[in-house]
Amino acid sequence: MTKQELLEAAKKAAAAPSCYPGLKTLIEAWEKALGTPDEHAAAEKMLAGLEECVTDIDGLIAFADSPEGVEVLGGEAAAANTLAAAKDAKAKGTKYCICPACTNGAILLEHRHDLGC
> Count of alpha carbons within 13 Å of 14, Cβ hemisphere only?
18
Domain ranges of the chain: 1-53+100-117, 56-95
pTM: 0.90
pLDDT score recorded for residue 117:
85
pLDDT score recorded for residue 34:
96
Look at residue 78 and tell me whether its pLDDT is greater than 90.
yes
Distance CA 68, CA 110 (A): 29
